[in-house]
Structure 1
Amino acid sequence: MTTLAVIPARFGSTRLPGKALLEIGGMPLVVRVLRQVQRCRSVDRVLVAVDDERIASVVDAWGGEALMTPRDLKSGGDRVAHVARSFPEAEIVLNVQVDDPLVGPDMVDPLVAALTERPDVRLALLVKEIERAEEIDNPNIVKAVFSPAGEALYFSRSPIPYSRNEGGRWYKHIGPYAYRRDLLLAFSDLPQTPLEKTESLEMLRLLEGGETILVVPVGRDTIEIDTADDVAALERYLTEKGDDLR
């Protein structure tokens, strides 16, 4: 089995222009993510899918492998699929976000293992139990409910499940996606579905189409970099917890 990890890294960013090249702890953000993924035993090759020579140059300078992709691709997922088309030998393709610098082997390797153990399934993703009450009602936090077998039942921006009784537990989706290559290549050609349009969540397109999605619980959170406050939070984290990449 060959596993390809792709980190889509475009230069444009509404809130943080040039976000992929932001230096945090003396290292560009894109390089942090690259090095974290390179630590994963289940990954055979890591590529950074870029749309700008400035990012490509930085990746090359730090010993990584960058691949230029068209600037007009609609999303990171489309950028990952564009790369995957050139690698027919890749059975599993990981989409690892460039704004997720705390991703690591404890997140990536279990995703690959989940697909390896379930050859009938073509997509696996991570969920983390919500610990902060304010995240439950936050529409920017995607909540997930799943069966005892670890198969997704629904994703929503609303607080699901509804807390009619005490003792409820809520989970959110975080981190990378692990696709079988055939599903990744077919995904962008599938028409949007009613629930996807309502919630603005692409994973609902697959659930509505009858696709099984495995969810893999993890025990720690990530810090996604979207604002200057997120950068400050990551720098505090690295100071307090230590920087494994230095």
Structure 2
Amino acid sequence: MTKLSVNVNKIATLRNSRGGNVPNLLRVTKDIESFGAQGITIHPRPDERHIRYQDARDLKKLVTTEFNIEGNPIQKFMDLVLEVRPTQVTLVPDALNAITSNAGWDTITNRSFLKEVIATFKQNNIRTSIFVDADPKMVAGAAETGTDRIELYTESFAEAFDKGDMKGIDPFIEAAQTADQLGLGINAGHDLSLDNIKYFKDNIPNLLEVSIGHALICESLYLGLENVINMYLNKLK
């Protein structure tokens, strides 16, 4: 079964909008795990506009499933990850002012940099993953950095699926096959939803984990958080 890691950034965004502690990020995270999620993902950004760096420290104390921290490996982020020591760190090439992730790494141009960063994390027994586009060349470049996994950036698949274009999955199948041949684990995330997750999962070989936040929280407004998490789990079986 593909694991479901729930990104709780949107819970933090809602909390921060009023300046208090409602909703309580830690309580919601515990509930998400109790509802069946197999992982928790956060993506702290330098301006801390949703997840704060202290949230990462606090969540480390209570997350009992896999804990995944995503972000651009600037020094401040690296220091946080090395302090918190999550299960997994996912490297994402975010610009400082990015609203959300919008591209995977050029693993060829950035090979030396990524190799150095990954070596540091692996020396501290932190599993590593690189956010990449569905391009076999970028997957092959990722393999040369020493990373454990890749995370396929799935926005283009989601957009094609919404338009009824089932061929939008094809580059992801090819990228996943390349990753599998090179011994890389395969994660995926960005714009995956209840509508498209089963089709994606059924077509991607050896998909280990999906990270879903925005769609899952939006769907929960209508259907309820516990119900939505179990709907995802059923589709990922």
* TM superposition score normalised by structure 2: 0.33
Structure 1 or 2: more strand by fraction? 1
TM-score (norm 1): 0.32
